[in-house]
């Protein structure tokens, strides 16, 4: 009986040792790996909806994560402006970046025509001259202290901040232009 208990004890110790070695290897790999900061690029925008009261636009970015593990605790903040005047801001939109590859990021923005009051003169001039678009600038900031995540959980932090700015032409609805003329 003592011999059976002793052999079960050895088996338990061996199983625990194997588990610790396997998880320890993953942990050591993360600690010794050189973590690289992700890169971000502007890809374009997609009109989701154009109505008489608002325009819903998704600004599309691509994030490239060169690391073997995915990244969390990443966020995007943005500011929209027309003719240099701020219209809309969004802060701390949470992001998760896929490991070793690209992640498409869609930053939604709803621009109501009421929001255009600060730049009403410029917009009215565009509408009266028959222009079909309005230049909207997005200034996006991708930042954070992302945590490397893996099967073993969050292990190590890196920090970064990337700023991108792009001006795009957003269509002015046909009905609005005709009503104003």
Q: Distance between CA 77 and CA 68 in Å, rounded?
A: 26
Q: Distance between CA 169 and CA 171 in Å, rounded?
A: 6
Residue-level pLDDT at 28: 45
**Per mean pLDDT, which range of 72-76, 125-129, 148-152, 171-175 is the poorest?**
148-152
Q: Distance between CA 66 and CA 35 in Å, rounded?
A: 8
Model confidence at 167: pLDDT above 50: yes
φ, ψ (nearest 5 deg) of residue 60: -105, 130
Model confidence at 91: pLDDT above 60: yes
How confident is the model over 144-151, as a mean pLDDT? 66
Identify which has the larger pLDDT, 117 or 143: 143
How confident is the model over 45-64, as a mean pLDDT? 88
Residue-level pLDDT at 139: 94
Residue-level pLDDT at 27: 46
Average pLDDT, the chain: 77
Output Rg (C-alpha) for the chain, integer angstroms: 26
Model confidence at 70: pLDDT above 50: yes
Summarised one tens digit per residue, pLDDT across range 93-116 is 999 999 999 999 999 888 777 777
Summarised one tens digit per residue, pLDDT across range 28-50 is 444 445 678 899 999 998 989 88
Model confidence at 126: pLDDT above 60: yes
Q: Distance between CA 181 and CA 63 in Å, rounded?
A: 43
The tokens describing 29, both together, are: 């790999």
């Amino acid at each position: 009986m003592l011999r059976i208990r002793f052999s079960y004890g050895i088996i338990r110790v061996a199983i625990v040792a194997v588990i610790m070695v396997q998880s320890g290897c993953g942990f050591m790999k993360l600690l010794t790996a050189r973590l690289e900061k992700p890169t971000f690029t502007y890809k374009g925008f997609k009109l989701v909806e154009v109505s008489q009261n608002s325009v819903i636009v998704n600004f599309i970015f691509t994030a490239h994560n060169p690391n073997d593990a995915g990244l969390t605790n990443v966020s995007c903040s943005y500011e929209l402006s027309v003719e240099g005047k701020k219209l809309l801001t969004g802060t701390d939109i949470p992001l998760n970046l896929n490991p070793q590859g690209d992640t498409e990021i869609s930053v939604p923005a709803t621009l109501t025509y009421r929001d255009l009051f600060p730049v009403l003169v410029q917009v009215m001039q565009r509408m009266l001259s028959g222009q079909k678009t309005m230049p909207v600038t997005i200034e996006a900031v991708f930042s954070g202290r992302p945590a490397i995540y893996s099967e073993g959980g969050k292990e190590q932090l890196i920090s970064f901040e990337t700023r991108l700015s792009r001006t795009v032409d957003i269509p002015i609805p046909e009905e609005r232009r005709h009503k104003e003329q």
